[in-house]
Amino acid sequence: MTDFLFSRAWMDAPEAWQLGFQDAATPMMQGIIDLHQDIFFFAIIILVFVLWMLLRSLWHFYYSNNPIPERIVHGTTIEIVWTVVPSIILMFIAIPSFALLYSMDEVVDPAITIKTIGHQWYWTYEVALWVNFSLYYSDYNQSDEQSLAFDSYMIPEEDLELGQLRLLETDNRLIVPANTHVRMIITSADVLHSWAVPALGIKCDAVPGRLNQSSVFIKREGVYYGQCSELCGVNHGFMPIVVEAVSLDDYVQWVSNKLE
């Protein structure tokens, strides 16, 4: 199966001078963007109000306009207002943020579980089934010796083909089906790593001796780029992540080709 070509219509990889988020490909990332916009709205209102208060104070209490300042040092009403109003604003921010936080930790009954292992300096992927909270067995085992597992290394700059992204392309992409609940089990074999794909709204630490999990539901087919987001050594910047979301039929074909 040929790899899905990166489309410029979607911003699923970092771009030069980019200021905003990458286009959301999961409900989780869409929720993160919406929360950011809502909080930014409150931040703009607070900024305008504070600037207005500062300028008003500088104008009215300038020594030439008001050489004899007022002797009032406090007021009960204003102190109640500037205590209650920020509390209400924080409540409006906390309710959606807590809802998003708990939804990020929730793992919906997954159709596929993928085990991701960070190494210095590459990733290993295994399509696996969680059994008894202690062991992994591949969903696609044909024998005790065979399982669907592969390593993913960065493609050197001199080996890049036309259209491939420098420092972001890998020799083996992680293929997942779109519109399917996927559970990611993330760990490390040596030092701290972090498996992060911005368009998917996922950034999960890979800790040696510990299994962290996250849930992914990709809404559209495409190629999504990420990188290790934890300082893991001299080649930290050279272990990219490429996730390709395909249709279910293409995913079954990919699995068959890998097993062959």
How far, in Å, CA of 258 to CA of 260, rounded?
5
Confidence at residue 147, expressed as pLDDT on a 0 to 100 scale: 60
Closest CA to 118 of 40, 19, 196, 38: 196
Q: Where does a domain end: 86, 105, 124? A: 105
Between these two residues, 153 and 82, which has the higher pLDDT value? 153
Do 90 and 31 share a structural domain? yes
Confidence at residue 20, expressed as pLDDT on a 0 to 100 scale: 85
How far, in Å, CA of 255 to CA of 3, rounded?
14
Structurally, the chain folds into a number of domains equal to 2
Residue 206 covered by a domain: yes
pTM (2 d.p.): 0.78
Q: Where does a domain end: 105, 137, 167? A: 105
Give residue 251's domain range: 112-259
Residue 229 covered by a domain: yes
Contacts of 33 (CB under 8 A, 6+ apart): 21, 24
CATH of the domain at 33: 1.10.287.90
Name the residue with tokens 């409540």.
Answer: 91
Q: Considering only 88-102, 123-137, 151-165, 191-205, which range has the smallest mean pLDDT? A: 123-137
| Highest mean pLDDT, choosing among 62-76, 124-138, 213-227 | 213-227
